[in-house]
Amino acid sequence: MKAPVSATGALLIGLILCAFACSTPPVPPEVQQAQGLDEDLRRTGVSFYAPQDYDRFQGRLKDGRDKVAAEKAKFGWFREYTAIQDDFRALMTDGRALLQHIRSSKASKAETFQTRARTLVDRVERIKKMTGFFNESGPVRMNLSRAEIKLAEAGLLLKKEEYETGSRSLAEGEFHVRAAEQAISGVLSRYLESGELAKWKRWAQESIDESRSSGSVVFLVSKLERRLTIYKAGTAVGTFEIGLGRFGLSDKLYSGDEATPEGKYKIVQKFPSSDFYKALLINYPNDEDRKAFVEARAKGLIPGQAGIGGAIEIHGGGKDSLTKGCVGMENKDMDLVYDYARVGTRVTIIGAVSIENTILAEIVKFEK
């Protein structure tokens, strides 16, 4: 029986195997691991989050590979990978640190993003709630609506982990919320002026004192709080919710401004039946109003040929209706108010009683 391979052949095979397998030092595993790490880096979006660091990493990876190739080109016995292995180990250490940095950075961005979004939602909700208390809400609601749209966009981008683009949407949302806050402050800024507050407080106190000293009935209307309180002999006997016009929080200056006047008035006529259920006509404009009108006209603040206006009433028809400057009430409440009212009954209309009420406290927060 003849051997399948001769002795020479066996020797040759042995030599080849020895040359390739036994005496050839293996390529360090770090070379392959670095490749895997490169892939992990790419997947985490390294070129976006740390482009310069990644360029350096890739440069070193390429150098390392070139060195491996150069070693491989040598005859097996002369290959030496020790220095290359050290280089790759250092590269792996740096690469892992970079990977960790990007992951942390992404996690931090996600958290920041979510915190910003939550804050924005809270701000939108808070301002929206406030818009329920006054009617001049058009510009405020417009900006809130835009902010909500931006928030929705940001939410979609968050799902896709597109934090940078999402962050821009949030920034736009924040811009609109700021605009809404400014619009609110614009409408209500005078409610923060200490002079105005002191004046309203004085009027309120004078009216209550008048009621107490004469035993009479006085109606105190606080516009910001949306409240009409009946005082009898200086004691509050009933409080009712009211509605105002579109620009009800402003002080009435001229006909058509849809503002509700502020001042100390009297009921001049009672209407048991009117377009708005029952009505109580007050003596707007009084002397103070006429004076203010003349001054405003001189300053060019009165548009066109607008007059000072009139026919300001407390009437029924519902507190949710937008009046043209009157004080609107629910019919059942109007019944009670109407019964208390006499021609000559004092009606004091003020902006707000005190700074302590919730809405003003919110505004003060904005101002700060």
Cβ proximity to another protein: between 2 and 368 the closer is 2
CB of 58 to another protein, least distance (A): 11
Cβ proximity to another protein: between 168 and 190 the closer is 168
Question: Which positions from 297 to 326 touch another protein by CB under 8 A, shown as an x/- string?
Answer: --------------------xx-xxx----
- What are the start-end ranges of the H helices in the chain? 7-17, 29-43, 46-49, 51-72, 82-131, 138-159, 163-188, 194-214, 287-298, 331-340, 358-367
CB of 278 to another protein, least distance (A): 14
CB of 358 to another protein, least distance (A): 18
- Of residues 236 through 255, those in contact with another protein by CB under 8 A are 243, 246
Under 8 Å between Cβ of 10 and 17: no
| Listed residue (39, 25, 23) closest to 85, CA to CA | 25
Would you count residue 153 as binding another protein (CB under 8 A)? yes
Where is 282: in which H helix or E strand? strand 277-282
Cβ proximity to another protein: between 286 and 321 the closer is 321
Would you count residue 20 as binding another protein (CB under 8 A)? yes
Residue selected from 92, 110, 121, 149 as contacting another protein according to rule CB under 8 A: 149
Cβ proximity to another protein: between 20 and 78 the closer is 20
Would you count residue 39 as binding another protein (CB under 8 A)? yes
Nearest-5° Cα angle at 112, 109 to 118: 140
Residue selected from 120, 140, 177, 353 as contacting another protein according to rule CB under 8 A: 140
Give residue 210's Cα distance to chain centre.
Answer: 45
Cβ proximity to another protein: between 258 and 289 the closer is 258
The pair of structure tokens assigned to 231 is: 């005082």
Under 8 Å between Cβ of 338 and 280: yes
Residue selected from 58, 89, 110, 165 as contacting another protein according to rule CB under 8 A: 165
CB count in 10 Å sphere of residue 34: 22
Mapping DSSP to helix (H, G, I), strand (E, B) and coil, where does residue 215 land?
coil
d(CA 143, CA 31): 56
Residue selected from 145, 216, 286, 357 as contacting another protein according to rule CB under 8 A: 145
Cβ proximity to another protein: between 134 and 265 the closer is 134
Would you count residue 138 as binding another protein (CB under 8 A)? yes
Size of the site for another protein (CB under 8 A): 49
Q: Is 31 exposed, middle or buried (0-12, 13-18, 19+ CB in 10 A)?
A: buried
Q: What is the rounded (10 degree) CA torsion for 336, 339, 345, 350?
A: 10
Would you count residue 12 as binding another protein (CB under 8 A)? yes
Residue selected from 70, 152, 171, 198 as contacting another protein according to rule CB under 8 A: 152
Would you count residue 148 as binding another protein (CB under 8 A)? yes
- Of residues 203 through 222, those in contact with another protein by CB under 8 A are none
d(CA 53, CA 94): 10
Cβ proximity to another protein: between 287 and 320 the closer is 320
Contacts of residue 73, Cβ cutoff 8 Å, sequence gap at least 6: none
| Listed residue (138, 358, 353, 349) closest to 259, CA to CA | 349
Mapping DSSP to helix (H, G, I), strand (E, B) and coil, where does residue 280 land?
strand
d(CA 230, CA 144): 37
Residue selected from 96, 106, 109, 141 as contacting another protein according to rule CB under 8 A: 141
Cβ proximity to another protein: between 45 and 310 the closer is 45
Would you count residue 139 as binding another protein (CB under 8 A)? yes
Would you count residue 273 as binding another protein (CB under 8 A)? no
Where along the sequence are the contacts to another protein (CB under 8 A)?
4-6, 8-9, 12-13, 16-17, 20-21, 29, 32-33, 35-36, 39, 43, 65, 131-132, 135, 137-146, 148-150, 152-153, 156-157, 160, 165, 176, 243, 246, 317-318, 320-322
